[in-house]
Structures are given as C-alpha cells and as structure tokens.
Amino acid sequence: MNILIVDDEEVLQDVLTSLVRREGWNPLNAHTGEEALYVLEREEVDLVLLDLMLPGMSGMEVLKRIGQLYPEVVVVIITAYSSIEGAIEAMREGAFHYIPKPFKNEEVLLTIRKGMDQRRLARENRSLREQLRRRYAFANIIGKSKSMQKVFELIRLSAPSKSNILILGESGTGKELVAKAIHHHSRRADGPFITVNSGSMPHDLLESNLFGHVKGAFTGAIASKKGLFELASGGSIFFDEIGNIPLETQAKLLRVIQEKEFMRLGGVETLKAEVRIIAATNTDLEVLVQEGKFREDLYYRLNVITIQLPPLRKRTEDLTLLIRHFLDHYAHENEKEIREITPRAMELLMDYHWPGNVRELENAVERGVVLSTTGVLDEELLPPSVRKPKSVTPPAEALPTNGLSFKEAVATYERQLITQALKAADGVQKRAAEMLKVKPTTLHEMMKRLKVSPEVVNSWLSRPTP
C-alpha cells in the first residue's frame, strides 16, 4: 500500500513517514500541492495524508483535484484545531476523515487502517463489477438469469448467420438492444444499422421511406430519393413493432425477403436488397395471422430464428445487476458520486412489479441519481408508482347470492379481491399483500383456504399481450 504524505513541515513529514514505514506501508512524500499531484500522476497511491495549510495550491484545492482525477484514492485531512471548520468542509468534498493537530500516533494509525479498509473494499467492488459485466453483460444487455443467458447464447449463435431474426417481448424489455447486438456481432458489423418505426407513419409514406421513389412518382416528389433498403445496403434493417405494418406494405416486404430485390416507387429499375432483416414485436403475430391482419407467409419468412425476451418480473435475480449498472452509468453521465442505495429504496426496487420492464427501471434509477444531493439514493427519490403500491378496488357488482350461504358469499368475495390484487401485482404475492394491507403470510394462508392457485394467476399473466 502506497501512502502519500503531503505536509510542508519537515518534522511532521519525518514522524508520519516513520509511522507509515513501521507498519509495513510504503511512504511517498510531497511538500506542496503541486508536488502531490505530480506524485499521484506517476505512482499508484492508495491513501493521502493531506495538510490543509500548504504553500501555493491549498489543501482544499488538492482534495478537489484528487476527487476529480483519482476518485478511489482515500484522503485523510490533517488540520490544526483552528481550522476544524475547513476540515468539515473537506469532508463534504469527499475526504474520508480528518485528524486535528497535535495528534496521537495511534489515532493516525487507526484512521489509516480504516481508510485502507475502504480502499480495499472499493477495489474489490470494482473488480466484482468488472467480473459481473464480463460474465453477465452482452453488448450492454445485462442479466445473469437462466432466461437471459439463453438469450445471450441465441445472439452468439445467430449473429454470424444470414438468417432473418424475430425478437419477441413486452415493451421496454430491450428488443432494439438485442437487434443491435446481433448486428454488431455479425459479418455486417461494419455496415449500417437502420431502424424502421413500423407503425409511426402512414402507408404511402412508409413505402416511400422503405423503397425510395423516383422524381414525379407522386405529387411533391420533386426529386428522386433513396429508401432505407438502399441506405442499409451491406448492413441490417430493424423493423420495430412489425405487427403494425399495413397489409399492402407486407406484400412488398415479402417480395424483398424472397427475391432480395425491390423497385423504387414510380420506378422500373430493379435494385438488389443486400440487407439482413431483424424484426421485433410485442404482439402475438400468430393471433394477428388468424385475424387476417398479418400475412402468414411473411410471418414464416421472418420467424426463422426467434428470440424471446422475458419480462423483468420473470427475471428478478437480474434486478441487483441492472440497478448497479444504471446507477454507475447515470452517476458518471451526470458527474455525480452516488455511493449507496438505502436498504428501504433497494427493497422497494426489488419488490416493484415493473410493468414497463427494464426501461421503467432505468428511468427510475436515472431519476434518483439526478435528484440526489447527498450521494445516496433513498426511497424519497424513487417515482411515486414505485414507492406506493396500487390500491385494489372492490368488485363493483353485487355478488350473486342465489343458493349461497352468507359464509360462501363472503368467501367468493374474498377470492375475487385476492385474484384482482394478484393480477394487479403481476403475480407477486408480497406486492399483492401490500395492496390488500395484510401480511404476506396472511395472504398465503387465505389463498390456501380459498383455493386461489398461484399457477392460475401466472397462466393468466403469461398470456400474450392483446
């Protein structure tokens, strides 16, 4: 462990150097702030003993520079009694502790040991985070759950191929991230990646954007224009929410997939489509096929390799990784040092059912980071929807009592309430208990007594989104 001693008094330098060396640590010395920064630039320093009263650059300025350039280095302030207020200000700027002069040797050693423990813990946390990222992250997609490891494996296997890929998952599960990962791990990685927002534009405009048009093809076409298929040549084109594409456009898209060619609107020249198609949807395409809203032949052309993204509520073991990832990301982006999440805030994040999936979680953590003024993310910084569970509205209609005893009617009413709460909580019994304002153990006993099966609720939740 390298300890940098920054003090302009030779006597204190000698005393502290002897103490540090006696404990088996390696002392480094600087007499000014400028010298300290010079040493930090050239040596790996673990802890700094910093006097606030220095000639030239002040100790406070040195502390701020260390915080900016070497945030993991532990800084212990040494100060005279007359400048205790300055030491307290230094603590606000990120100093680990302060020692007033004159000091006792044992007090200095005890503070150094505690500082070293913090430094060691920071190193271990950094190492652990790097290991977790390497093991559980794939192109910014985070997850250690079995379902996400399966997704990673499908990406690895399918990316080098030329096959079309269909990505299924609820809104907010990260379908575009998966599409980008497939592209960047494919042989087309050096080519463009173009996203088509399938349902955000009228039929005619969508076709013009996809295939381009020649001058005079329609009113307002004052010049020829390349379409997205031309612009994506040599790369990948990603159809987000492909279930929203009109049937007329679906027929032309099918021809592009089958023949690998297309024509601009109003044109006669056949152009080659040298692109890979990746599609995504949060709807059940098979249902759309049955309803006549999606072409069956196009569905089978797209559905060569399917990647199913699980909702966040079905992979809760990934929550801690995701929270830590977003916390680090937005703390860095907003130039903030967020040191911890309070236990209550973490409990709320872990218990919430996340109907908006990973996107909603990301937004919640970003909000907490931006609003934090203490370096801590606590429960008050979380969105109201996360802090407060939904309420359960009693069934509006009166219960049928024909042929039922009072006891049977009450049991039926209780069963409806519990089922409604479980549906609202996406099957999370602890969350449902909060909504009903009962203990989780009480809810469990009631479910057993009333024969409310969790499997029935889960099967309801797993039905495709209409």
- Vertex 375 angle, CA 372 and 377, to 5°: 55
First-to-last C-alpha distance (Å) of the chain:
61
Highest mean pLDDT, choosing among 81-85, 236-240, 328-332? 236-240
pLDDT tens digits, one per residue of 393-421? 555 554 555 566 777 777 888 888 888 88
322 near 174, Cβ under 8 Å?
no
Encode pLDDT of 223-250 as tens digits. Answer: 888 889 999 999 999 999 999 898 888 9
* More confident call, 25 vs 140: 25
Model pLDDT, residue 466: 39
Are 148 and 135 spatial neighbours (Cβ–Cβ below 8 Å)?
no
- For the stretch 175-188, pLDDT in tens is 999 999 999 899 99
Q: Which two tokens stand for residue 126?
A: 């950094």
- Give the fold, CATH level 3, of 2-132: Rossmann fold (3.40.50)
CATH fold of 406-461 reads: Arc Repressor Mutant, subunit A (1.10.10)
* The pLDDT of residue 200: 64
Tell me the DSSP string of 61-88.
HHHHHHHHH-TTSEEEEEEEGGGHHHHH
CATH number assigned to the domain covering 142-308: 3.40.50.300
| Peptide bond between residue 102 and the one before it cis (omega within 30 degrees of 0) | yes
Q: Compute the average pLDDT of residues 77-101.
A: 80
Phi, psi of 377 (to 5 degrees): -100, 110
Tell me if domain 2-132 and domain 142-308 are identical in fold.
yes
The domain limits of the chain are 2-132, 142-308, 313-387, 406-461
Looking at domain 313-387, does it have CATH number 1.10.8.60?
yes
Q: Of 153-162, 345-354, 407-416, which gets the smallest average pLDDT?
A: 407-416
Q: Nearest to residue 62, comparing CAs of 91, 33, 19? A: 33
Q: What's residue 464's pLDDT?
A: 46
pTM confidence score: 0.60
Mean pLDDT across the chain? 86
Strand, coil or helix: 384:
helix
Three-state SS at 395: coil
Residue type, position 356, single letter? G
pLDDT grade, residue 193 (50/70/90)? very high
Closest CA to 361 of 375, 349, 347: 349
